[in-house]
Chain A
């Protein structure tokens, strides 16, 4: 308990109290009302945007997992020194400003961008793949941002697996595929679940990438939170939307905890 105390003090003081204030604001602050929640329930904009957010988060997280798991698996198999170097590669996007990255993605994905120009040259055909200013662009941008988080969470759980089980299975004549699906993958599930959770929540909260790479339909709930925080100064509405966002992430968490037998992050040692 005494080990946890400092972290507890910090989070109660600098996280819980401010957060409670947000909840308080969402219910109308000093003049309590459910007005903002009623507006969210009746205004079609909010419902549509909530659906959008969930959809984009699920797809980005799925893609991140499909790409991130093989990377983590590949990293785990490397000798330590090579692994370090490759891990630095994975962390590379952190050093580039999100604004610059978005511009880079315009150059890469655009109609006259690198990929389309290459395809036109390679196939000799006119036309292009629409990859920018639509949902595809948003998902690519988000996946790029989320990938390091997924890779590191999965890698951590792959590295905790001892080689004994795999070796035993190998001796017993199991094929590589069987070893993966019957031993490695099930044992890495805690990491996978934690990764899914982190990516889901992070993508729900992003607002710069969808605004710069998305199409007109790719408005996310955090864009609206930002709009009410900074443009209309309607903080009660912003807080109510934030509480809805919290509720959605809460539902995610409970769902994932169910799958994992009542544990969210492997709380019990």
Chain B
């Protein structure tokens, strides 16, 4: 039995229930073993996210709570590809209801008519540290910063901010950056003396001029996040742009890696609802669970990420709280996803051309 098949059957069954009237409907619902008619009408929700241990942790905390409270089944899937989303909406053959997305992509997808507008009468936006957007709601944030191997580069021998990361005289070593402009431009500007709070709108020319200076010292422009850690542990690079969550996972694993929590670039992670979802209301309710402070805290306690709600911090374990990048610290940059939604494509083409030459 495939999901699509189930989901294709669903509307027919629902129409049938409506047509046959409430009595027959209630009978049908009881036959299906479900407590009430209202819930019986909410078909299983397909929730797609980036997979791995992050999705596993979300499944165990947020999604499990939703399923227990509402009795609505949630089917997890991985690989929230925008191309698949566009094809689904275009052909009207929807597979997904709730999607974990990158903010700038969600804005563009929303404008292209691929996402439902967030229903903020269902989703509570109080106490959000990261601003909610028209088409998606932030539920956690992750910090990007400098990773290194403390065995090879003990205290004082590794850069602790982006100016030092750019200073190849004082901190000689092979650098690793990502093969896309996102975060690189922010780093380059901070290395050039722009304050974290004054980054946006990004001065793209100045950022590329700054990147020119680090270019000869970057031994690899990394394609995948996992490589930021494995290249460090395999001694192929010395200093790398990576994410705190990945470094902490490697540390738990006994690897010799460390992370600088200052001068971080913090980016929000968002959830959105597919345009035209047959389970729109149930999907919005699932999104509202992603924004519940206690559930966010439970998820972040497993993964070490930062909750999007300030009220969730009270529920964090002390050691998780201690490792959160300080959002109030003037050295912390918060990614402006609106800027990236607007300029991302042009800047990416320029960046790829710049890499080739």
What is A's interface to B at a CB cutoff of 8 Å? 43-45, 48-49, 52, 103, 106-107, 110-113, 132-133, 211-212, 215-217, 219, 224, 227, 229-235
Contact = CB atoms under 8 A, between A and B. Distances in A.
A112 B219 CA distance: 14
Contact of A231 (B82, B179, B235): B82
A215 B352 contact: no
A45 B350 CA distance: 8
A127 to B, nearest CB: 15
Given A230-B82, A233-B112, A212 B356 contact: no
B121 interface: no
Contact of A233 (B82, B230, B234, B352): B82
B235 A112 contact: yes
Contacts of A215: 220-221
B224 interface: yes
B108 interface: yes
B83 A233 contact: yes
Contacts of B348: 227, 231-232
Contact of B353 (A45, A107, A111): A45
A245 B257 CA distance: 42
A45 B352 contact: yes
Contacts of B224: 211-212
Q: Is chain B's binding surface mostly helix, strand, loop or mixed?
A: helix
Contact of A212 (B81, B227, B236, B353): B227
Contacts of B220: 133, 215
29 contacts: A43-B349, A45-B353, A48-B357, A52-B356, A106-B230, A106-B231, A106-B234, A106-B236, A110-B234, A111-B236, A113-B234, A132-B236, A133-B220, A211-B224, A212-B224, A215-B220, A216-B179, A216-B218, A216-B221, A217-B355, A227-B352, A231-B82, A231-B105, A231-B348, A233-B83, A233-B112, A234-B345, A235-B83, A235-B86
Closest 3 CB pairs of A and B: A211-B223, A112-B235, A45-B353
Contacts of A217: 355-356
Contacts of A230: 81-83
Contact of B356 (A45, A113, A211, A229): A45
Nearest to B230: A103
A232 B344 CA distance: 9
Contacts of A232: 345, 348
A233 B356 contact: no
B235 A216 contact: no
Contacts of A44: 353
A142 B235 CA distance: 24
Contacts of B355: 216-217, 219
Given A48-B353, A224-B352, 19 more contacts: A45-B349, A45-B356, A52-B356, A107-B234, A110-B234, A110-B236, A132-B236, A133-B219, A211-B223, A211-B224, A212-B227, A215-B221, A216-B179, A219-B355, A227-B348, A231-B82, A232-B348, A233-B108, A235-B83
Nearest to A43: B349
A227 to B, nearest CB: 8
Interface string B20-53: 0000000000000000000000000000000000
Interface string B72-91: 00000000011100100000
Interface string B328-357: 000000000000000001001100110111
Contacts of B82: 230-231, 233
Contacts of A231: 82, 105, 348
Interface string B200-224: 0000000000000000001111011
A232 B346 CA distance: 10
A229 B356 CA distance: 21
Nearest to A110: B236
